[in-house]
Structure 1
Amino acid sequence: MSEEEAQASLNLFIDSLNHFGGCVQHILVRNWGMTNNWKIVDESSELEPFCKSPKDKIEEEIAIDKGKGIQLVDSHGLPIKKAIQIDFPALSSQEGKRLAREEVKFAQAILRPSQDGVTKEGKKAWPLWERQRIINFLKKASAVLDNTGLF
């Protein structure tokens, strides 16, 4: 994603917060599988009043412009809820590409082989190290989602 595309996406997110922020809980997802450059988000002074730290609890907070000390409201006059931030982990590119190429679901990719190296579905099993990387990714992703308190 180019810097211009990232800025446009961030602007849309802020516009949505300003319009629907009191009605809809917004979630900012840093997908580390898409990019590892989140500088534009981290350094955005426009976004800062709207976001909780990823370490904050799920308790609902209202966005406040600290510079002016005022509560921010959306276009409907409702107090804007602070956006929840999620740092979504990256799956290794090798496994990601193979999943896409073979059109395989995670559950199929991590199936253990029988004695002859074939899964119960009759397909060649993935090597142990690739299955383990997928399992580790799924554990990290699950922990991140669990920590949001949304599920």
Structure 2
Amino acid sequence: MACIHLVDGDKGGVGKSFVCSTLIQYFIDHNLDFIPVEADRYNPDVANRYGDLAFQFAIFSDDERQTQADQLRDLAVKQPLIISLPSQVGQPLNSWLDMALFDAADEGVSFVRWFITSGTFESLNLFQIALERHGGNFPHVLVKNWGVSDDWSELASLADLNKLMKRHKVQVIDFPRLPWQESNLVQKKNWTFAQARAANDLPSMSRTKVKRFLKEAYTAFESTGRITNVAISSPAPVKTR
């Protein structure tokens, strides 16, 4: 069964594009077939960074006449999708999911929502809304982004959210922090992670930090069991793209 990976967060500044780029690099490094999808019309960071890939584009809009995403499920029958979602798209995305989920299993399509959080109340409240709507329909993974926060006390304090997470068996992973200098360079130069770890104009220690970050991120992704057919013991050769 093919899978649609929704890289979500529904809030700006939580690191959705960074996590999505890392997930894409994971699929590339492990020679996994996939179709990348950019759904951010105004700031398509992921499509710009991985511009050599054959991106598909989608639009989720409060005006259903402007939503352009019905092709995604047909694409997912052929290969898994990784969808980079913009901020503040929760309502139109949920409306689309209501219809897409109706007979998705009959079409051989499953879903996973990777929900990126910074640990603030607003971010976690948006996750609770997502869980209340579709937590019983498909797996949700809460991604604690240590690159934007190291305070997760709010998560521990939200009793209703934690009960909901337990009910729906939500998996929680720690997405590692790439040190500021290397993270800033990746974004400033619009590098893929493959380019960053092989950049000759970086000190060897900087390249090591990128490689270590990727190893830790990949381990976190794999721990969920939500990425299938992965040859973990035999990663693909390093690619520049």
What TM-score does the superposition give when structure 2 sets the normalisation length? 0.43
Structure 1, gaps ≥5 residues long: 53-62, 64-80, 114-124
Secondary structure at the counterpart of residue 173 of structure 2: strand
Task: Point out the structure with the larger strand share.
Answer: 2
Q: Which amino acid aligns with 1:7?
A: F
- The one of 208, 222, 234 equivalent to 1:132 is 208
Q: Distance between the aligned counterparts of 2:170 and 2:160, measured in 1?
A: 13
Kindly indicate whether residue 207 of structure 2 is the aligned counterpart of residue 85 of structure 1.
no
Query: Number of residues paired by the alignment?
Result: 110
- The one of 19, 26, 30 equivalent to 2:144 is 30
- The one of 201, 207, 218 equivalent to 1:142 is 218
- CA apart distance, 1:144: 0.8
> Is the 1:51–1:85 Cα contact (8 Å) retained in structure 2?
no
Q: Larger Rg: 1 or 2?
A: 1
Secondary structure at the counterpart of residue 160 of structure 2: coil
CA displacement 1:23-65 (0-9 Å, x = unmatched): 122211100001111111122111222335xxxxxxxxxx1xx
4+ long deviations beyond 3 Å: none
What TM-score does the superposition give when structure 1 sets the normalisation length? 0.66
Identity between Structure 1 and Structure 2 (%): 34
CA displacement 1:50-106 (0-9 Å, x = unmatched): 335xxxxxxxxxx1xxxxxxxxxxxxxxxxx22111111110011001111122111
What's the C-alpha RMSD, in Å, of the aligned pairs? 1.9
Partner of 1:39: 153
Structure 2, gaps ≥5 residues long: 1-12, 14-118, 228-241
Q: Relative to 1, partners in 2 of residues 1:112 and 1:9: Cα closer, same or farther, differing over 3 Å?
A: closer
Q: Distance between the aligned counterparts of 1:112 and 1:94, measured in 2?
A: 14
- CA apart distance, 1:17: 1.4
Secondary structure at the counterpart of residue 85 of structure 1: strand
Secondary structure at the counterpart of residue 28 of structure 1: strand
Q: Distance between the aligned counterparts of 1:109 and 1:25, measured in 2?
A: 32
- The one of 106, 115, 140 equivalent to 2:193 is 106
